Amino acid sequence: MFNDMDQLVVAQEPAVERTEESAEQAQEDVSKGNVEVGKAIKHARNRNKLKWYCLLIVVLIVLGIALGVGLGVGLSKTATSKTKP
């Protein structure tokens, strides 16, 4: 009976070894995945900051254009109204 049990253990040993190797590989992959997720979170936060900076720059450009046009129109009206007697 022990001989039969020994034969079963020997026959199943390659399958057990493959399972152990797969488990180790899965553990390594999970560790690498956690590192990549950490990097992705950092990149997402930086992207969000950059998005707000871009919005601020666009708003400042629009305000500058509006201010320039407003002053240009206002000064031209003032200059034309002063020249008329």
Find the angle CA(75)-CA(77)-CA(80) to the nearest 5 degrees.
110
Domain encompassing residue 62: 1-85
Give yes or no for residue 46 having a pLDDT over 90. Answer: yes
Q: What is the DSSP string of 5-66?
A: HHHHHHHHHHHHHHHHHHHHHHHHHHHHHHHHHHHHHHHHHHHHHHHHHHHHHHHHHHHHHH
4 vs 45, more confident? 45
52-64 pLDDT, tens digit per residue, is 999 999 999 999 9
Q: What is the pLDDT, as a whole number, of residue 84? A: 61
Give the global pTM.
0.57
Task: Indicate the number of domains in the chain.
Answer: 1
What lies within 8 Å, CB to CB, of 50 at 6+ separation is: none
Confidence band of 16 (pLDDT split at 50, 70, 90): confident
